[in-house]
Chains A and B, each alone.
Chain A
């Protein structure tokens, strides 16, 4: 579980690095009425929900194995 968390954090930070640019350039996050910001927020929420579902699924599988 901890490993998964680190992978997730690494992913989030690498995405941020991708968008972080020198100030005089307009980064992707700044274009189009900053709609990318909303997209990033929604995708983060969605990633969190999916990670949570996967975690519950794993826990259940473990329980099911113990019960057999």
Chain B
């Protein structure tokens, strides 16, 4: 096993998240009651997911600059973990919504946007696999990946805030005030941000394993 301090840090941060996340006193807001604790699990995982996809995009840019296929592999595997986190986020969100919004899928703008975004990222893999030529595949899919991230962030972070949304930040409808910054309880913040780092590092760990597998498999094509 490749021993790294950040793998240990990931485990410690998540142990802290689970323990403190279950045991601290939380403010009772609206109809959330104890489900506000999902703010330590569902939301930080989404933050981690966005960071993983950001790293994927950065590796795509690096590939276009360097032409090094190893960078393309890194971009691909980060996108893969990003999709897995995304699906988990969608499912956990649906569970949470069932008991606070009344139904698992209420066509909330953020839910729809995220579903579209996941399709965009799945199309990234369809695109990749449609091209047998390795260099062409790497170049075209890198460009696509950069495009995908720049449509992803407005889709999930900006558009839902411009319309009525049940998610925090939306207009009109009384959404969950959770991540308002203004009224996020300070003790909750002490768990929230370590959780973001913990989930991100766990994702990086999983991705690093995928990258190492790919490198073993595709060794003959990589010159780095």
Chain A: residues with CB nearer than 8 A to chain B? 32, 35-36, 38-39, 42-43, 46, 50, 53-54, 56-58, 60-61, 63-64, 67
Contact = CB atoms under 8 A, between A and B. Distances in A.
Given A35-B23, A53-B206, A67-B219, A43 B212 contact: no
Given A35-B23, A39-B23, A53 B205 contact: yes
A58 B11 contact: no
Contacts of B11: 50
| Interface size range on B against A | 10 to 19
B209 A56 contact: yes
A56 B212 CA distance: 11
B2 A43 contact: no
Contacts of A64: 212, 216
A38 B22 contact: yes
A50 B15 CA distance: 11
Interface in B194-222: 205-206, 209, 212-213, 216, 219
Contacts, number: 39
A46 B15 contact: yes
Contacts of A63: 216
Contacts of B18: 39, 42-43, 46
Given A43-B15, A61-B1, A64-B216, A53 B209 contact: yes
Most buried by A among B22, B209, B213: B22
Given A53-B205, A63-B216, A64-B212, A58 B23 contact: no
Contact of A60 (B22, B23, B212, B219): B212
7 contacts: A32-B23, A39-B23, A43-B15, A57-B205, A60-B209, A63-B216, A64-B212
B191 interface: no
A61 B2 contact: yes
Nearest to A32: B23
Given A60-B213, A67-B216, A54 B1 contact: yes
Nearest to B17: A46
A46 B212 CA distance: 23
B161 to A, nearest CB: 32
Contacts of B15: 43, 46
Contacts of A61: 1-2
B187 interface: no
Contacts of A50: 11
B19 interface: yes
Given A43-B15, A46-B14, A64-B212, A57 B2 contact: yes
B209 A57 contact: yes
A67 B219 CA distance: 10
